[in-house]
């Protein structure tokens, strides 16, 4: 699994002119599911996102997680994170998981965050979405469950 995690002051997702999810302070998470991802990848990503210490403590040091601050998560499924452009200029999507399995793992990721007490808003799987992100900092973290970066 791959994720782009951004600390936000606000974030929302719109489909066809209708807002489907919206948060204030918290994290915007763009999540890509890779072919072959399983339980270990899912647990890794839930643990990393929920515990990521990117919010300032009382001394202005990034030392708090979204759990510590009571922030929310806007979770967006994004298979394009698995696009491979090492050869040529048109992305290859061969590493992205098939939609059925990807959707199941995406839902379980969101449910895993909720089980930790985090309020999660979601995009619409496989929809053409408009995502608004007000990146705070800016703080942007890249995660990969296979630790390729």
Annotated catalytic residue within 9, 80, 126, 140 = 80
Q: Name the 3-class secondary structure at 83.
A: coil
In the residue annotation, 126 being an active-site residue is answered as no
Q: Is the CB of residue 27 less than 8 Å from the CB of residue 68?
A: no
80 is catalytic: yes
Identify the H or E element spanning 110.
helix 99-115
CA–CA dist 18, 130 (Å, integer):
10
The rounded distance, in Å, linking the Cα atoms of 117 and 70 is: 9
Q: Say whether the peptide bond before residue 138 is cis (omega within 30 degrees of 0).
A: yes
Task: Pick the catalytic residue from 6, 55, 79, 109.
Answer: 79
Token look-up 């515990």 returns 51
Q: Check if 6 is active-site.
A: no
Of the residues 6, 55, 78, 109, which is catalytic?
78
Active-site annotation, residues:
78-80
């Amino acid at each position: 699994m791959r994720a782009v995690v951004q600390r936000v002051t606000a974030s929302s997702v719109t489909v066809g002119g209708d807002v489907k999810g919206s948060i204030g302070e918290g994290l915007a998470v763009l999540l890509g599911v890779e072919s072959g991802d399983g339980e270990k990848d899912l647990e890794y990503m839930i643990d990393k996102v929920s515990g990521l210490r990117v919010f300032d403590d009382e001394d202005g040091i990034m030392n708090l997680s979204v759990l510590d601050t009571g922030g929310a998560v806007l979770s967006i499924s994004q298979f394009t994170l698995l696009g491979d452009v090492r050869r040529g200029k048109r992305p290859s999507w061969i590493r992205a998981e098939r939609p059925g399995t990807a959707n199941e793992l995406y839902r379980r990721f969101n449910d895993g965050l909720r089980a930790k007490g985090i309020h999660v808003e979601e995009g619409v799987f496989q929809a053409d979405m408009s995502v608004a992100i007000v990146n705070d900092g800016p703080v942007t973290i890249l995660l990969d469950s296979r630790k390729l970066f």
